[in-house]
Amino acid sequence: MTTPLLVADQVWVTTATEDRIAPSAHRDDLRRAAALPDRRAREFLAGRGLLRDTLGALRPALADADITTDPRGKPWLHGHPDVGISVSHSQGAIAVGVAAGRALGVDVQRPGTSVTASFARRLLHEHARRIAALPPERAAEEVAWVWTAQEACVKASGAGFAGRPWTIDVPPGARSGHWGDYRWISLRDRSPLPLSCAFPMARG
């Protein structure tokens, strides 16, 4: 999904694997990457490269904008608070999102080969029994889908882990839902990996 995919009104998501992305050569991105360990720097620059490519396809004038982060690490385009952006990494998979007129959160996950019952209960609560009978890999995949929706919500809100994503009710198999004033969408028909996005329901 290297071409931006419209998933809601003025909300786009793009995904790729790290080895297929030209890393960002933006001066500010390079400066930030220089402070990171090598592996993390490569991941960071790939994510920024995909984000800037996506911006270039959608809003070319913004592709070279500086990207700042708030105190909780949420990225924003400097001087363009009306454009929401988000980046997610998972073992070589990268997803980015761009939204016009509202904040945005995107999360992608490579599932494990199994999931513990305690972790499933932590994320799924009363829904955990619905995946208990699934084969281990299928259960791990479903938990990953749930987690991407939960993570996308707290990324969109800017709360991060302080927003306690594991408390957000996301039923197994669900494709969309709401958390407070935010809507989340799981791209189950469009992505081979668990991938979700979230954004405020009201524009502005």
Query: What is the value of pTM for the model shown?
Result: 0.94
Give the residue among 184, 177, 180 at the shortest CA–CA distance from 199: 184
CA distances from 165 to 25, 50, 96 (A): 33, 26, 19
Per-chain mean pLDDT for the chain: 94
Give the residue among 60, 90, 73 at the shortest CA–CA distance from 32: 73
Residue 204, pLDDT > 50, answer no
> Distance between CA atoms of 126 and 3, rounded to whole angstroms?
38
Mean pLDDT of 98-121: 94
Residue 110, pLDDT > 50, answer yes
68 conformational bin, left if phi > 0, alpha if psi -120 to 50, beta if neither: beta
Looking up tokens 């594991």, which residue turns up? 166
Give the residue among 185, 204, 201 at the shortest CA–CA distance from 5: 185
The band of 203, judged by pLDDT with boundaries at 50, 70 and 90, is low
Judged by average pLDDT, the poorest of 56-60, 76-80, 131-135, 192-196 is 131-135
